[in-house]
Amino acid sequence: MADHYFSNKPNSEHRLQQFDFVLRDRTYRFETDAGVFSKSEVDFGSRLLIETFEWPEVEGPILDAGCGYGPIGLSIASEQPNRTIHMIDVNERALDLASKNAKRNGVENVQIYKSDRLQNVSEEGFAAVLTNPPIRAGKEVVFDIIQTGFAKLREGGELWVVIQKKQGAPSVMKEMERLAGSCDIAAKSKGYFILRAKK
């Protein structure tokens, strides 16, 4: 059975590659590999989330849940070097790449560590939680990330989720409304929704 990016230790043979990509008006050089999500370019959903994200009014750290090789967390972290950005993933290969990409791009205000969903996140009081959730891992995993992510927010903090309409955006939006009382569509493009809920 072929592994996918929600694997703990991908078995696929290494196929390292590098590419440059502009996010929030800055060019980044990313190294990627087989066995990680969207290895040839920053995927459209992540790009839309990155470009749509607005800094919350409250202070506090930021969490990138399911960071992959790092485009969301690193592009956000580089804008506010005084904030700590936590970047988590279950995929050890992705985490290794995220650490290398942080160094390569001179981003120091990140904590990159392994966590299945949010199980290893001890920090509380995040100003924002961003996620491009692993749809292929199933609805239960996606909802768990959304529920535990929302619980980790401080008062006034925001949960940002990118999801395609055909992959469950309406049900995710309903769950975010249940948690927060309301949920707005911050952007939509090519079937992708950026959903935002404030605590």
Please work out, in degrees rounded to the nearest 5, the angle formed at the alpha carbon of residue 159 by the alpha carbons of 42 and 39: 15
Whole-number Å distance between alpha carbons of 113 and 96: 9
Residue 43, domain member (yes or no): yes
Is residue 144 assigned to a domain? yes
Regions of the chain with pLDDT less than 50: 1-5
The reported pLDDT for the residue numbered 10 is 53
Secondary structure (DSSP) of 73-113: HHHHHTT-TTS-EEEEES-HHHHHHHHHHHHHTT--SEEEE
For residue 14, what pLDDT is reported? 76
Q: Is residue 8 part of a domain?
A: no
pLDDT at position 134: 86
Angle at 89 between CA 84 and CA 90, to 5 degrees: 150
Question: How far apart are alpha carbons 21 and 91 in whole angstroms?
Answer: 22
Q: Provide the pairing of β-strand 62-65 with 26-32.
A: unpaired
The whole-angstrom separation of Cα 170 and Cα 163 is: 9
Selection from 77, 78, 39 nearest residue 87 by Cα: 77
What are the pLDDT digits (tens) for 153-173?
999 999 999 999 999 999 999
4: in domain: no
What pLDDT score does 138 carry?
87
- Give, as one character, the DSSP assignment of residue 14: P
The pLDDT value recorded for residue 162 is 97
* Number of helical H runs and strand E runs in the chain: 5, 9
- Domain assignment of residue 10, yes or no: no
| 184 located within any domain | yes
Q: Considering its fold, how many domains does the chain have in total?
A: 1
80: domain CATH number? 3.40.50.150
Q: List the domain range (segments joined by +) for residue 56.
A: 17-198
Residue owning tokens 């009382």: 181
Give the Cα separation of 44 and 199 in Å (integer): 27
